A and B are shown apart, each in its own frame.
Chain A
Amino acid sequence: MSTQEPFTIEQFYNFIKQGKLMAGKCQKCGKIHLPPRPLCDNCYSQQFTWLAVSGKGKLLTYTVIHIAPQQFQNLAPYAIGIFELENNLKIPGIIEGVPQDQLKIGMELTLDLTSCNTTQQWPQWSRYCFKP
């Protein structure tokens, strides 16, 4: 994997737009950062490599948002979860395609990058979601 790209959140979302879920791995202590960061919080190294992460996630907790921010009002009520991926990495996201009364802690869902879209001026990031 190229090490040219900066280890930033902007770059994380650039990869998402390309259909890839990528974490930064510290070359010195091996800690994996999701999202990537430019300074390892464990050993202070600034040397990283990119690591592709599987989108398979286990649901750790969830909620259903009924009162939504302006931008998400057309989606409400929508489910949000925090997911555990491989290597104990965690990431939150909107859950699609699961009836809300069937949400269950421990269920397995997959990060979906096919329906990414960008609607706002800043940031020009693509939003992923989790699906069965």
Chain B
Amino acid sequence: MNRKPLVSIIGAGMSKFGKHTGLLTRELFAEAASEAFSRCPKLQPKKDIKALFIGHMGEAYEHQGHTASTLADWAGLVGIPATRTEAACGSSGAALRSGIYAVLSGLADVVMVGGVEKMTHRTTAEVTEYLAMASDYPFEQFHGITFPGLFALMATSHMHNYGTTEEQIAKVAVKNHYHGSLNPKAHMQKEITIETVMSSRYVAWPLKLYDCSLITDGASCIILTKPELAQKYTDQPVHIIGSGQASDTIGLYERKSLSSLQATKIAAKAAYEMADIKPEQIDLAEVHDCFTFAEIMAYEDLGFCRPGEGGKLVESGETYLNGRIPVNTSGGLKAKGHPVGATGTAQTYELYLQLTDQAEKRQVKDAKIGLSQNIGGSGATAVVHIYRREK
């Protein structure tokens, strides 16, 4: 726990998540970049920032590829190397990992990492089709398996193996909408009841409409530097002390377990070992609840409870704000929204606010150690980071 941090976060920004009619990704990203710069007044962006890493999933939304250089320009950083990472919904988690590589390599002392997606101008059918591209084509998409369908296949297996119920899964939605109601940047800021979830129509049995995350527009970014330079820029840095990333087969059907994500387990083990931290020491976490059931799996794969006990953990209320381990205080992908490329660094943004006591109504008291888990697709990518506040 007292090991030297890998890198330090000296600023972070996030656009409002929601429906942004008339804006393009580059304009959304400018909003996030502007906030990050204003949170770190000692930073001279043009002089100090040496590289940009961007998570962005789909060219199809705006018929626009080559995103990273475009965003460097719109953030006022034209000239610096700008690279896009694509790992489906885990794109900006992977970008963060790349930013850490860059700082640790010594090639760049200060880097910006972020992500963006503009989705709401497309029809639900189009978005569904674009998102499905992150699953296996020859044996999943080709056979009519949708993204909710993949997580439904895992949920059915979990319900069969452990007796997890649809009501327990629905409680994740109720909790995350409650947290979202406390986040002024969340897409949905209204509380919902379990009846709302349970009576919503099936998308892919056993998952219902309210078990699914939102189609959202948004951008997020953070600024990283070497730990020894952090104090030059801010007296309130947040340190990244553990990082893990892992891959798995693209096809769910090829995996040994259908009710857990091996990539999350591998990434978490690497991050915990690097940070010299045990799951019990985590004070709060932002996990990848693209579907409510995914949060239940995350509890188990990250070691917050034993395998099979994720349903009971959400039922216990211990993952609520003020619980033993608050999860998704931002509202998560479920209520804050899931602009896929932006999600990974939006999780980091929330932890940055929490670990610098700026989370206002949803502030976790005495939060010292945070964790983020960002996954791509049905789990062929997982990225886990562990954060520590400045003493």
Which residues does A use to contact B, with CB under 8 Å? 9, 13, 35, 60-72, 75, 77-78, 80, 82, 90-94, 100, 105, 123, 125, 127
Contacts and interface: CB of A to CB of B under 8 A. Distances in A.
A65 B145 contact: yes
A92 B128 contact: no
Interface string B87-131: 000000000000000000000000000000000000001001100
A83 B112 CA distance: 45
B22 interface: no
Interface in B310-368: none
A63 B144 contact: no
B132 interface: yes
Given A69-B132, A70-B125, A91-B253, A64 B144 contact: no
B145 A105 contact: no
A23 B63 CA distance: 39
Contact of B143 (A66, A90, A94, A123): A94
Contact of A61 (B132, B156, B254): B156
B333 to A, nearest CB: 18
B162 interface: no
Interface on chain B toward A: helix, strand, loop, or mixed SS?
helix
Nearest to B136: A92
B153 interface: yes
Contacts of A93: 143
Given A105-B156, A105-B160, A63 B258 contact: no
B129 A69 contact: yes
A82 B252 contact: yes
Interface string B135-173: 000111111111011001111110010000000000000
Contacts of A75: 144
Contact of B129 (A35, A62, A70): A70
Contacts of A82: 153, 252-253, 258
Contacts of A71: 144
B182 to A, nearest CB: 30
B146 A65 contact: yes
The 5 closest A-B pairs by CB, nearest first: A63-B152, A61-B157, A72-B144, A64-B205, A66-B202
A66 B203 contact: yes
Contact of A80 (B125, B129, B149, B203): B149
